[in-house]
Structure 1
Amino acid sequence: MRIGDMLRGRKGLIVGVANADSIAFGSAATLRELGADLAVTYLNEKAEPFVRPLAEALGAELILPLDVETPGQMEAVFDAVRAKWGRLDFLVHSIAFAPRDDLHGRVVDCSLAGFQQAMAVSCHSFIAMARLAEPLMTDGGALLTMTYHGADKVVQNYNMMGPVKAALEASVRYLAAELGPQRIRVHAVSPGPLLTRASSGIAEFKDLIDDAIERAPSRRIVNIAEVGRVVAFLVSGASSGMTGDTIYVDAGLNIVA
């Protein structure tokens, strides 16, 4: 099989495309290049004009709204996938949110409401999607989500998202154990700091980028295409012996004290 055909016929749902610089789009572009058929979601009517042209350029067979805080929308997306394809081979979950005031403050000062919202959007939504994807993955599959090194180590200004992403990584391990008998593999992908719209909400993010370039063994940050290639490996049969892992794609930054 040619490398360009390695995912031909695979059906995948991409959640979290915001623009051409987003991790979700980098992943989607690589997956499509390798032959996968895609369904792509956009957050709301405001986001649709930015996402729809990107999804159409990828030849997405489904382009659907998905705000995980809107009751019923998640179920509607998976119903549409079932109606269109009758199955799902992989899911890429690349969404996260925390209220700005809570994100910019100390963890000890974060509000209950803010913490609950961050957990619901950034962590529990992945669990909910896994539950909805399970009956569609009749021949096994792969569930992927995006995390960050701040889940494991204290990263300045990452603040409340550190505990939230730590919960997400723990959820990956538990989901992998529970869904393994169905041959559904679950992974967290941990890119280094990237200049995306989501990262722009982190205070002094430019300093975080500069620090990463200075300390990473490769003396650089990665790009969304590099993340996309790792995502493609994880959803392909080449990674059939792996599940429950957090895979770093950060030019080696995570190994440096």
Structure 2
Amino acid sequence: MELEKEIIKEVLRRAENENIQDIKDSWDMRGFIGRKKKEIAEEIKSYKQEILTYQDELKGLRKELTEGKNTIEDLESQKQKLQEEITQLTQDLIVEKAKSGVKAEQKKVLESRQKLLPAALKSVQIYLKDGSVAKAKPAQKLFSEDIYKKYRVELKENHILKTQLSELELENKRLSIELRDFYAELMLEGMDTTQNPKQESKESLLEKSENAAKKEKLTTKSSQVIDSQGEFIATQEDISEFKQMLKAQKEKKSKK
């Protein structure tokens, strides 16, 4: 509107000094400017419309991007859960396989024990007249079922006693080795005393006499308790006394 007013004023000002042709040209210029103004306004309007359209599209794309990120996070969470479930199932499967293996081994052990344990005779093989072999049931039982049960119990107890006896034999061998080492240490101490004689106190003499008495007592007992193979077998009393003697000897060494 301001532009139109300026154009009109300019035309009136020139009308005083210019001719009709100049005024006509001025009016043509005014029409050209009006047309250009309309074109520019329409272009601006279309640009604004395009901007609004692109803004709407951009909002839609941002919304889709946010939804895609949320979907990816959900899928990652589900993937993590599935991996944990697979790991747990794998561990459970390993445990179940181990349990089934143990059960199978236990079943085999029980079956083998049942085969080894004595039982009543169920069938016998007999020769026929033509030389062939046939199976037959025994006519009568030589022993009752109670005897077989008692025999099974005694067999089990015998197995336990054998295990305990093996443990005691191992303990006796260990003690015999320690006793040998103890005698060797005593002999070395005696050699050191003879090579480097020193004045000893009454307490050390009493201690040596007590150790000698214990040694003599242990030697006497060990000579009395010998098995059939000539090996040393210690009683509980011998073991306790021997352990006390070793403890006293170690304390004496630590004090030195």
If the length of structure 2 is used for normalisation, what is the TM-score?
0.15
| The structure with more strand, counted as a fraction of residues | 1
TM-score (norm 1): 0.15
By percentage of residues, which structure has more helix? 2
Which structure would you say has the larger Rg?
2
